[in-house]
Every structure is written in structure tokens, then in C-alpha cells.
Chains A and B, each alone.
Chain A
Amino acid sequence: MAIRVEHELHRRRSGRNWGLLIILIAFVGLVFGLTVVKVTRLGDARAFESFDHVANPALVPQEEEGARQ
């Protein structure tokens, strides 16, 4: 048996709900765009990569080169 969810309230609030959906998507897009701009403007990527205190492969070759010499 199909579940009927249609109610007069749904029709009345449909415009508001669609508007809210658009605002939420715009918010996600806004924060995503901000993240992209911030990350791509870091310059030296290593400054960002070493920020989390996790072993960083990008930094290892330099140490290895130093060890060989």
C-alpha cells in the first residue's frame, strides 16, 4: 500500500522549502569555494601539509638526499 504524504501543508510550504534547499546548496558551495581559494593560495604546499603533524612523504626526499651526501 502506497504511503500518501501529500498534505495541504506540503503544498503551502513548498516554495519555502525549495528556497531553503537553494540557500543550503549555496552555503555549501560558498564554503567549498572558500576552501579552494584558501588552499590554492598557500604558496608552498608543504606549509599546509606539515600542519597536521603527520609524517609527510613530500619532506622525506630532502632528508634522504642529505643522508646520502
Chain B
Amino acid sequence: MQDASLTEGAAVPAEAGLGDYFQLLKPRVMSLVVFTALVGLLVAPGGVHPYIAFVAVLCIAVGAGASGALNMWWDSDIDIKMRRTRSRPIPGGRVRREEALGLGLALSGFAVVLLWLATNLLAAGLLAFTIFFYAVIYSMILKRRTPQNIVIGGAAGAFPPMIGWAVVTGGVSLESVLMFLLIFMWTPPHFWALALFVKSDYGDAGVPMLTETHGRAATRRQILAYTLPLVAVSLGIGFTSIGGWIYLAAALALDIWFALGVLAIARRSEAEAEADSYATEKRVFMVSLWYLFGHFGALLAQSALSAFWGS
């Protein structure tokens, strides 16, 4: 017994702090989840008690964090091979894989059950499906098999506004589906713009990324291909009950800004990109961040001003 405990101790030389467990929850991803879920909740028709709204957003954030911990548990073998992920708590030797699995499962159960008790079964069911989708469908099945991993896996990040909407309405509607589609269609251009200028070592880790399986020219065309339906979804939201002139004006401006950048990416050759150190690709990646936050911010502004004018 003593030998076993010593062996275990040797596998984890550094003592894990609370911050290491927090890192397992991928806090940066959580911020996007919290923002989009909150917007979905606030623009939904009807209302919910502020404390219930707080608990709901907390549960959605914890659920997203739990799926991040499960992802780190499953991917610890490839995380240690890549520079970007090498210092994560598990490959860094501060947290054991089993701890990440335990934390992920416990937080998943906590978030889903509490969301059910606080709101309704549909919202909790959607959260459970989101965690399952990210941990099992994306991490375990798709990530190492297909270069379309980002596309389908992006659905996991697209569910939060739909859950926020379900918290208030108890249902799914055209508006919540379109908010889902906005994030779903946005994810591929966003990540592939990043993949073009970041020298990744996904290939060494055995993860098929589009830039490596189909080449950079094909990736540029794919970015454009996904941007067209993205623009359509973005403008389509403007004509639903949560849209309006404020949203449409903001969405149109963001669409033009983003589409011009994407067109520039599609027209460039790899030699041109290398000549200016991928300046356009870096700019479009930054614009894509503003694009998503801008759209959800505009929805929030539209909702607040509609309520003000309506009263």
C-alpha cells in the first residue's frame, strides 16, 4: 500500500491548487458561454426572477466548465504533445486524469440537476445534451477523425443562448434556433482564420485540421463558404420577434466588415499572406470576435430599447 501511494505521489510532483482545478473548467470559453446564455435569457419573451436567472446562468457556466474538464480528461494524451496545451493542469502533472474525470462528472450532475430544479426540464435537458455533445460527440468521436471536427463540434458552443431562451419560455422557437445557428455558422470561419496564422502542432498530435488535411487554399475557400450562410442567419434574426432596426443596422455593419475581410482572405495566396505575416488573417480573426459579441450585444440593446419604447 505504501509503495502504491508513493508511486502515485511521484506521478503528481506538484501540489494542485484551487486555481488548477479552475483551469480544468476552461474559464475563457466560459465567458463566451455566460454572455450568450445571458443574452438568450434576457431577450426571451416573458420574464424570470433575477435570482433564478442568476442560478440558471451559473448552471450553464458550470455545465460548460464540466464539459471542459471532461475534454481535458480525454485529451490529456494529446495535450502533452502540443505547445499550446502542454502547461494545462493534467499534462503539467499538477492534477491527475481521474480527478478531472471526477470533477467533470460531478459538476455535470450538479449543473443539470440544479438547472432542472431552478427552471425546467427542457433547459436542463439541453444543458445535459450540450455536455454530452462536447465531451462524447466532439472530444471522443469527431476530434481525431475528421477535419470537420470544428464544424460539428461548434454546435456545443452554440447551445447556451438556446438554453437561456428555454429557461424563460420553457420551449424552443425560431429565434432560439437562429441564435444557435449564428454561433454554429460563426465557429468555422473564426477557428480556421486562427488556424491559418498559428503554426499549430495538431498534426504531431494526430488531430486532423483542415489546414493540414486539405491545405490552406481549401481552408480559405471554406471560410468564405461558411460566411455566406452566416450572413444570411445574421440578417434573418433581424426579422424575427427579437430583431428590429437597431439590431439590423448593427448586424449589417458587422456583416459587411466581416465579409470584406473574409473575401480578402479567400483571394490571397499563401505567398501573399506570408509576405505580410498573415496580417489580414489576424485582423479577420479579431473582427470575428467583435462580430459575435457585436451581434449578441445588438440583440440585448434591441431588447432593452424595445422594452423602453414599448412601455
Which residues of chain A have a CB within 8 Å of any CB of chain B? 12-13, 15-16, 19-20, 30-31, 33-34, 37, 41
Contact = CB atoms under 8 A, between A and B. Distances in A.
B17 A16 contact: yes
Contacts of A20: 18
B228 to A, nearest CB: 44
A41 B16 CA distance: 42
A28 to B, nearest CB: 13
Contacts of B49: 37, 41
6 contacts: A16-B16, A33-B55, A34-B52, A34-B118, A37-B51, A41-B49
Secondary structure type dominating chain B contacts: helix
Contacts of B52: 34, 37
B175 to A, nearest CB: 26
A26 B293 CA distance: 30
A68 to B, nearest CB: 41
B15 interface: yes
Contacts of B18: 15-16, 19-20
A33 B15 contact: no
A19 B21 CA distance: 11
Interface in B1-49: 15-18, 49
A34 B15 contact: no
B117 interface: yes
Nearest to A13: B15
Contacts of B117: 34
Given A15-B17, A33-B55, A34-B114, 14 more contacts: A12-B15, A15-B18, A16-B18, A30-B55, A30-B58, A33-B51, A34-B51, A34-B52, A34-B55, A34-B117, A34-B118, A37-B49, A37-B52, A41-B49
Contacts of A34: 51-52, 55, 114, 117-118
Contacts of B58: 30
A30 B49 CA distance: 14
Nearest to A30: B55
A20 B17 CA distance: 11
Interface in B185-242: none
Contacts of B17: 15-16
Nearest to B49: A37
